Amino acid sequence: MAKSAGVAIGYLAERTGLAVSAIRYYEAQGLLEPWRNAGGQRRFHRADIRRLSFIMIAQQFGFSLPEIRGFLKDLPGGRTPTPEDWARISTGFRSHLDQRIETLRKLRDNLDGCIGCGCLSLPKCALYNPQDLAAEKGKGPRYLMGDRPQSQSEPQKEA
Amino acid sequence: MAKSAGVAIGYLAERTGLAVSAIRYYEAQGLLEPWRNAGGQRRFHRADIRRLSFIMIAQQFGFSLPEIRGFLKDLPGGRTPTPEDWARISTGFRSHLDQRIETLRKLRDNLDGCIGCGCLSLPKCALYNPQDLAAEKGKGPRYLMGDRPQSQSEPQKEA
DNA sequence: GTAATTTCTAAACCTAACTTTAGCTCAAGC
DNA sequence: GCTTGAGCTAAAGTTAGGTTTAGAAATTAC
C-alpha cells in the first residue's frame, strides 16, 4: 500500500489524550516525522497513535524525551511498524525498564535495612554516607543509583 | 544536650555532595529549618546530613519536593531524630515506594504482553487504547498508572 | 459560498528544581 | 589586623517539557 491520506494532528490528540501542542513539541524533538499535505498541514500515520502511546508510557518510567527518541529510532518511519518491529524495540526498552525497576527496588531495600531498623552504626548506610550516593556522575542533579555504594574514607560521628 | 554550635552550610554540602545553593533552595522550600548564628549565617544540625540524604533518595524515586516535605514533616525539627523517628517516617515512605515500584512493575508486565507479543488484536492493549492511559486525572502530564485500563468505546482499525 | 473549525508558525510564557551573578558581610588563618 | 575564603540576599538565568497567544491560512460544515 502506498502512503495513505494520513490523519490530522487533532485526531491523534483525540485518540491519545495528548494536547495538540504536545504532539507538535514531540515532532520538534525528533520523536515523530509527519509529512505535510498540499495545504501545509501535518499528516500522520495512524500508527503514530501507537508511537505516541509508547512515548507516554516511557515517560511514566522516567525516561527523558532524548532517551525515548533513542528507543524509537529503530522503528521504521516510512511504513506502519509491524508487530515484529515493535517486538524488536521492546527488547531494548524492556531491559532498560528492568534496570530501572531493579534500581528502585535495591534502593528501597537498602533504605529498609537502613532507616527502618535505625542502623545508626552501619558503616555503609546510604543515609550516613551520602557521598556514595552523590558521587558526581555527569552533572546536574544526577546522582547515581545503579552503582553500589562502597568504600568509605573518614570515620564519622553522629549524623 | 542543648543546641550545639551547629554546622555550616558548606559542611553539609561537602558531606552530601549537594551544592550550597541547592541546600539553600531546600530551606526555601521548607525542607530544612536551620537557625542563624550571631553573624546571620545558617547553622544546621549534623542530623541534617541524614535529612538531605533522605531528600536525595526520595527524589530518585520521583517524589517532588512538596511530597518529600510531607514525608519529613513528622521528623522532629528541634532535636536529632532518633532511630525511632526515622523508623516512623520510613513506614509512610515505604508504602509510597512500594506503590511506585508496583505501578512500574505492572506497567512493564502490561507492556510485555502488549508490545512484546505484537498483540495487535488485543482489545485492552495499552498501546491501542491510549485514552485509558491518558484519562485526565489531575492536570499536566499526569497520566494515570495505578488504574487498570478497561472499557473500550469504538472499535478501531490499524493503528 | 460563507461561516465555523482546525491548523499553521513564531514567540512568549509556565513550573520545577536549581545555578549563576553581583555586591556585600562574616569568619578564619597567619 | 588584614587578607581571603565562606556565607548572605535578591534577582536573573537555565533546562525539560510543555502551554498560551496572536494572526494568518487551510478545511469542514451547512
**pLDDT tens profile B106-155:** 777 777 666 555 554 445 566 656 665 554 332 222 333 332 222 233 33
Please give the Cα distance from A23 to A25 (Å, whole number): 5
Q: Is the CB of B152 under 7 A from strand C?
A: no
In the three-class reduction of DSSP (H, G, I as helix; E, B as strand; rest coil), residue B44 is classed as strand
Give the number of other Cβ atoms within 10 Å of residue B63's Cβ. 19
> Cell digits for A134?
552523590
- In this complex, the residue with its CA at the shortest distance from the C1' of nucleotide D14 is A140
Q: Please identify every stretch of chain A with a pLDDT value under 50, giving residue numbers as ranges.
A: 2, 120-122, 135-159
pLDDT at residue B143, rounded to an integer: 32
B75, pLDDT greater than 70: yes
pLDDT at residue B40, rounded to an integer: 95
> Cell digits for B39?
553573624
Chain C nucleotides close to protein (CB under 7 A) are 6-9, 16-21, 25-27
3-state secondary structure B53-109: HHHHHHHHCCCCHHHHHHHHCCCCCCCCCCHHHHHHHHHHHHHHHHHHHHHHHHHHH
Least confident window among A89-103, B19-33, B59-73: A89-103
Give the number of other Cβ atoms within 10 Å of residue B81's Cβ. 22
> Cell digits for A131?
557521598
Give the number of other Cβ atoms within 10 Å of residue A131's Cβ. 17
Please give the Cα distance from B114 to A81 (Å, whole number): 14
pLDDT at residue A32, rounded to an integer: 94
pLDDT at residue B115, rounded to an integer: 59
**pLDDT tens profile A47-91:** 899 899 889 888 888 889 999 999 888 777 667 777 777 777 777
Q: Which nucleotide is nearest to B22 (CA to C1')?
A: C18
Q: Which is more confidently placed, B40 or A152?
A: B40
Amino acid (1-letter code) at residue A32: L
Please give the Cα distance from A136 to B17 (Å, whole number): 8
Percent of chain A beyond pLDDT 90? 32
CA angle B104, A85, A76 (to 5 degrees): 110
Which of A53, A61, A145 shows the shortest C-beta gap to B60?
Answer: A145
Closest-CA residue of A relative to B81 is: A159
Residue with cell 491510549: B130
Helix%, strand%, coil% for chain B, nearest 5 = 50, 5, 50
Please give the Cα distance from A97 to A91 (Å, whole number): 10
pLDDT at residue B152, rounded to an integer: 30
pLDDT at residue A98, rounded to an integer: 86
pLDDT at residue B154, rounded to an integer: 33
Q: Give the mean pLDDT of B85-113.
A: 78
pLDDT at residue B118, rounded to an integer: 52
| Mean of per-residue pLDDT scores for chain A | 73
Q: Contact A118/B87 with Cβ under 8 angstroms?
A: yes
B23 contact A CB<8A: no
